């Protein structure tokens, strides 16, 4: 049975609640360098600090981007879920996602001719659907704006900025050899 993606993402975000209670941090004089991480384990791809493009004819299990967009091109198939945190999920006409599509702090675009078998969710951004029937499950579009600031985007931004420059890739395939995690 497939686990729902949204509760997992919301749980991960709730762990960052102490970041909102802290005093505002001083802005660094220059922006930290972006960290780019790619994992192609089990046919899934994940990136941080750049866009993830699923090319035509490519078939992957999951697609995740943090601080970047996930772009699923025409003719590409994602067998499970697509998620972008502080980024957008963009499907081209002819792209297919067999699971759910979620963007936290960005938008989701599902044009006519693209198809999402599961749900499409945009938290802290907009959900753009040309045809509602191109999404098989629920559609959720939620933003909470206060004094001109989107609180969902602010929350995600503060949580991610605390871990800026760090990237951890856990590889389950190495469990037989040793139990150490690999940090990048």
pLDDT confidence tier of residue 176, bands split at 50, 70 and 90 = very low
**Do residues 90 and 71 touch, judged by C-beta distance below 8 A?**
yes
Position 155 in a domain: no
Position 116 in a domain: yes
Q: How far apart are CA 169 and CA 101, in angstroms?
A: 22
Position 76 in a domain: yes
Of the listed ranges 3-17, 27-41, 136-150, the least confidently predicted one is 3-17
Does the structure show a pLDDT above 70 at 3?
A: no
pLDDT confidence tier of residue 70, bands split at 50, 70 and 90 = very high
Measured distance between the N- and C-terminal CA atoms of the chain, rounded to whole angstroms? 32
Query: Residue 29: which residues within 8 A CB-CB, separation 6 or more?
Result: none
Position 5 in a domain: no
Tokens of 103: 């963007």
**Taking residues 81-94, what's their average pLDDT?**
95
**Taking residues 75-101, what's their average pLDDT?**
95
Q: How far apart are CA 101 and CA 73, in angstroms?
A: 14
Position 29 in a domain: no
Is the entire prediction scored with pTM above 0.75? Answer: no
Instruction: Please report the sign of the dihedral spanned by the C-alpha atoms of residue 18, residue 22, residue 24, residue 25.
Output: negative
Position 38 in a domain: no
pLDDT of residue 5: 56
Burial environment of residue 42 by CB neighbours within 10 A (0 to 12, 13 to 18, 19 or more) = exposed
Domain range for 88 is 45-143
**Taking residues 110-123, what's their average pLDDT?**
96
Q: How far apart are CA 47 and CA 52, in angstroms?
A: 6
Radius of gyration of the chain (CA): 17
Does the structure show a pLDDT above 60 at 180?
A: no
Position 90 in a domain: yes
**Taking residues 118-146, what's their average pLDDT?**
90
Q: Number of folded domains in the chain?
A: 1
Position 125 in a domain: yes
Mean pLDDT computed over every residue of the chain: 75
pLDDT of residue 48: 86
Tokens of 41: 């384990």
């Amino acid at each position: 049975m497939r686990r729902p993606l949204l509760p997992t993402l919301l749980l991960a975000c709730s762990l960052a609640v102490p970041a909102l209670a802290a005093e505002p941090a001083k802005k660094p004089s220059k922006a930290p360098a972006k960290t780019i991480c790619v994992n192609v384990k089990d046919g899934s791809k994940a990136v941080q600090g750049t866009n993830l493009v699923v090319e035509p004819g490519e078939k992957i299990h999951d697609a995740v981007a943090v601080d970047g967009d996930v772009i699923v091109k025409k003719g590409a198939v994602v067998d499970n879920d697509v998620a972008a945190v502080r980024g957008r999920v963009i499907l081209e006409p002819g792209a297919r996602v067999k699971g759910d599509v979620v963007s936290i702090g960005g938008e989701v675009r599902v044009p006519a001719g693209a198809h999402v078998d599961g749900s499409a969710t945009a938290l802290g951004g907009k959900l753009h659907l040309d045809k509602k029937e191109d999404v098989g499950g629920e559609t959720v579009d939620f933003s909470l704006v206060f004094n001109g600031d989107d609180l969902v985007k602010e929350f995600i931004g503060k949580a991610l900025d605390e871990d800026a420059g760090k990237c951890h890739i856990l590889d389950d395939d190495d469990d037989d050899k040793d139990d150490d995690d690999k940090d990048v």
